[in-house]
Structure formats: C-alpha cells, structure tokens
Amino acid sequence: MEGFKNNLPMERSGGKEEKMKKKERITICPHCQTPMIWTFKWAGCEWFCLNCGDAMGMCSGDITEVTPELKLKKKVVDKIWKILSNKILPNCHFKKNKCKKCWENGVNSHWEHITKREKRQSKEAERIIDKFKGIF
C-alpha cells in the first residue's frame, strides 16, 4: 500500500518516506480549556478541572494538541494538585495506602475510622481549591 509502511501512515519528504511524528496531546476541560487532572478523588469522575471545578467521567474532556501555553498551565495545575490532593478525602469508599488500620484490620473503607484531623484537612484543601476557580 502506497503511503503506508508496516500499516503505519507515512509522509513523503524529498522522495523519502518517514514515519509521521506522534503529536503530543493533552486533555482539556470542554468548558474553560484548562488542562485537566486525572484523579480518583470523586466516584465516577476521573477528570477534574482546577479552574472551573468541574469533575467528569473518564471518557470526558477534549483532547487537543499541546501548545507551549497549555504545557505551562499543565505544569502549574499539576504542582497545585500535588500539594492539595493528599489532603482531600475521596467521596467514595477506599482504603488509604499509608494507613495501617485500613490494611491490618480488613476494613472496606478508610471512612470507617477517619480522624477529625483528616476531615479538617480535607475541608481546608477543598476551600483552597475553590479559591483557584477562574484563575486560569
């Protein structure tokens, strides 16, 4: 088949066939075009937008080519999320990786023995996230 090699599309350059370069892609929010965060903090919502606060299922979001601006936004969003995500408690049943009670006592959910401190930290992190709405 002309234009294909090993079933991969080719582009012609000066008479030579070369593999097409894979373009880097990113998932952005369909509402505000901010890079989205892949997370399991909310049941049924694997994508989260720090800018507008929308949470969507894994097949949601718009996939687009990466631009320098989107790449920079993604780095900022990821850094903010890394700091806050450890404090936010998922709204679903889960076992916490670093919790001995979750794994030694055979519980089904960390919610069965959640501490007041964890609840407080989660609420504070959620308040901080609300302050980021509209920043991008």
Query: Per residue in 79-116, pLDDT tens?
Result: 998 888 877 766 666 767 677 887 777 777 777 888 88
The answer to whether position 10 is within a domain reads no
Highest-confidence segment of 11-20, 71-80, 99-108, 120-129: 71-80
Answer yes or no: is pLDDT of 69 > 60: yes
The answer to whether position 12 is within a domain reads no
Number of domains in the chain: 1
Select the more confidently predicted residue: 99 or 28: 28
Structural domain for 94, as ranges: 22-131
3 state DSSP class of 44: coil
Select the more confidently predicted residue: 40 or 82: 82
* DSSP E strand stretches across the chain: 4-5, 8-13, 16-19, 25-28, 37-42, 45-48, 55-56, 62-65
Tokens of 134: 């509209």
